[in-house]
Chain A
Amino acid sequence: SAVISQKPSRDICQRGTSLTIQCQVDSQVTMMFWYRQQPGQSLTLIATANQGSEATYESGFVIDKFPISRPNLTFSTLTVSNMSPEDSSIYLCSANDGSYGYTFGSGTRLTVV
């Protein structure tokens, strides 16, 4: 199964700033996904990122707030822009490597102060 390295693992940021989260997969994958997990809640899909095309965002999430890059089949970034305390959450990337299924990164715990 694919292994995903996600960083940073945690960060404390000032409101109004931006943070970029990186995910590196140890094999080529077609689809990557970005989720948000708010305290005590389950995972909510932010967007789907396919290499060579614009990310597809779920209702309630917009590109200006959560720009995503997918430059190749092993890497993706999610930026949380103009942060507010409401953005404090765990952000997770995931990849579908086809035969095995869905693997997740270890998550980024973001606190906005």
Chain B
Amino acid sequence: EDQVTQSPEALRLQEGESSSLNCSYTVSGLRGLFWYRQDPGKGPEFLFTLYSAGEEKEKERLKATLTKKESFLHITAPKPEDSATYLCAVQAGSSDGGSQGNLIFGKGTKLSVKP
């Protein structure tokens, strides 16, 4: 069964204190791994898509990396405005070699950054 596990569930950081969020996955034929940011009362906001092991992508203070079993979202010198829930999701392949289409989400990591 395809599965996504995120850790930790919650993370409290001081402003400027760098850290990493983990997303481990078990999926039959990874088509893509996605990171989203979700603010309270809003829909997920797209951050990154990673497709193959070794791939890295950066955006401002965020950097996402991918291995064959997990992905990390590194946050460098976070600011209070980075406080949000960060969701990881995977798109699995299907038995016919195509895509299953939908995303499978982890439960998210709630990040709080204190000034």
For B87, what are the chain A residues with a Cβ–Cβ distance below 8 Å? 42-43
For B95, what are the chain A residues with a Cβ–Cβ distance below 8 Å? none
A109: CB under 8 A from chain B?
A: yes
B43: CB under 8 A from chain A?
A: yes
- Asked if B44 and A43 sit within 8 Å, CB to CB, the answer is yes
Q: A45-B102, A48-B101, A101-B34 are in contact. Are A106 and B42 (CB under 8 A)?
A: yes
Chain B, range 64-102, C-beta contacts under 8 Å to A: 87, 89, 101-102
Interface 1/0s, chain A 93-113, versus B by CB < 8 A? 010100011111111010000
Q: A41-B107, A45-B102, A48-B101 are in contact. Are A107 and B46 (CB under 8 A)?
A: no
A28: CB under 8 A from chain B?
A: no
Q: How large is the interface on B (under 10, 10 to 19, 20 to 34, 35 or more residues)?
A: 20 to 34
For B43, what are the chain A residues with a Cβ–Cβ distance below 8 Å? 4, 6, 92, 104-107
- Asked if A31 and B41 sit within 8 Å, CB to CB, the answer is no
Chain A at the B interface: SS class: strand
- Asked if A42 and B107 sit within 8 Å, CB to CB, the answer is yes
- Asked if A43 and B46 sit within 8 Å, CB to CB, the answer is no
Which A residue sits closest to B42, measured CB to CB?
A106
- Asked if A42 and B108 sit within 8 Å, CB to CB, the answer is yes
For A6, what are the chain B residues with a Cβ–Cβ distance below 8 Å? 43
B49: CB under 8 A from chain A?
A: yes
B29: CB under 8 A from chain A?
A: no
Interface 1/0s, chain A 42-82, versus B by CB < 8 A? 11110010000000000000000000000000000000000
Q: How far is the CA of A41 from the CA of B38 in the complex (A)?
A: 12
Chain B, range 36-65, C-beta contacts under 8 Å to A: 36, 41-46, 49
- Asked if B34 and A102 sit within 8 Å, CB to CB, the answer is yes
For A18, what are the chain B residues with a Cβ–Cβ distance below 8 Å? none
- Asked if A31 and B101 sit within 8 Å, CB to CB, the answer is yes
* Pairs of residues from A and B, 10 with the lowest C-beta to C-beta distance, nearest first: A104-B43, A42-B107, A42-B105, A43-B105, A107-B43, A106-B43, A104-B44, A45-B102, A31-B101, A101-B49
